[in-house]
Structure 1
Amino acid sequence: GAALLGMVMGLAVKALRTHRQRRAYTPLDPLDLCTGGASTRLAMATVSGAGEEVTTQSLRGRLLEMAARADRGQTENPQDNTQIKEIIDKLELAMIGQGTTARLDGKWELVWASEDVTRSSPFFWAFRQAYPDNADQVYAITDSIPGQLKEIGRAVQNISGAEGPGEGSLESRVVIRALPGTPLPLESVMITTSAIVDRNRSQVTLKVDETKVRETTLPLWDKTLPFPSGVALELARQGASEVVMTTLYIDELIRISKNDQGQTFVWTRI
């Protein structure tokens, strides 16, 4: 857990330190409801090529079943994820013309991601914007850490004030375990807080504020001050701390959102 967080945070720390020393931005230190009426009455979506109509309820059930089978998208069988993406497309079609932002408030748990589960956090969306030439290299290193050494637990988002007026917030919590299955596993929760600074009917603009490690078994880490990740990201690249989340589908049970880099995430309300 510490290695995974350290690799990513290392770049942001370096940007902040370098700015204070010489104002030169040097990249890469390679190691770190309102439930509306539309959600209570099921919209209808046509299954392409099947010549029949299927309710969003049945599509939703199939999506959740396949997401569990696909291990939140981390399956080694690409066909599972291909089928999930087809269901997502149908649910998005069923939502056309309906706003989604007003229903975002609440607590959500990730059940499927089109990439690594950790990248459901807006921090990593902003990190990719801040370091477009290096982010994928860092992610490749962390993604290649074998399962005996690293395990990603629950990923949860708490959203409030999404509809406005005024500023809302999104708190992302991702559990990271090191040495799982050993007598002394290490566990941490990476928490990133972002402000909702703008919105329309289907999108919210998030400004990453701070990142901290809490609920950890690592000595002293639970006492560390929050890291000003938003400031560090801005020092690396102006505007990098702001990202857009588009919600393709939402009802009383599930939410499908994507970032402006095209990664898609399926959440269930908890």
Structure 2
Amino acid sequence: MQVLFDDGHGATQIQVTLNNQTPVPLCPDSAYHPYSECTHTVQSGGAQLSIDISPVTDTTPSAIKRWTALYTAPDGRQVFVSEINARTDKDTAPTRSVPPLSTKRLAAIAASGTWNRYLSALPVPSAPPSIGPKISAKQITDTLTRLLPTEMSVSDPQGSDGFGHVVLNDGHGPSLVAMNVQLWKPDDPRIHQVFDGARTLSDGTRITTSEKPPALGGEGAIEWTVDTLREDGLRVVVSSNNARAYGVPSTRKDPALSIPQLQEIALDPSWQQLLPQ
């Protein structure tokens, strides 16, 4: 549901979404939303509340703003309330300096019992299909942190199942380091196409490297990547950027980790220890 709200100081869009199917992440991922200011609290009884202030477009963080409140009930049902300081998120200029409702007001709307009867009317979600073992973001970032050079500071570990990232700083500017850890069937033709023409190591592991601008852009940004596939189907991809997140300008000349360092991390046996026995 969405409405156009105008209190005389500029028209704005306010939206409410009710959900009990695919959970909305509690806070935006900082690798993709570097300007997000998100707080997450657990209330008495187990309900959770996340408040976020972000730009609508990360490439123009000073333009239109989006303020949100996400209420997650103990049973997993969610109420998501958002507002922007514009008529639509496609506008190029805001109608006012900030959205009209305070974050406290947004939180009260999201947590209101008014939504309970509508949430109860939603269909019961079916069990998600089994897609094989999952490796959590914490497992990935914890393992990655142990493999990084000790002289570098490590901050902001985040991610999702199969994906994790941290920000490194060696004194020359922050650098995003991201990892994907996946388990493929060894005979899956799709993954073999990815590694067609790759270099093969003595143990059968295939490996490719690349040095190119990241897919999500960023002025002056460059991403160095090592992609590996072991014979048992374990794929480990690690990349280092010369920016603190995707889509933002570079913060240093080169990424914090070199291709040889990335290769050493990707080939470390620690990743196989994360697989279910």
Common topology (TM > 0.5): no
In our comparison, the structure showing a higher alpha carbon Rg is 2
Q: Normalized against structure 1, the TM-score is what? A: 0.27
Q: Which has the larger helix fraction?
A: 1
- Of the two structures, which has the highest relative contact order with CA contacts closer than 8 Å and spacing of 6 or more? 1
Task: Output the TM-score relative to the length of structure 2.
Answer: 0.26
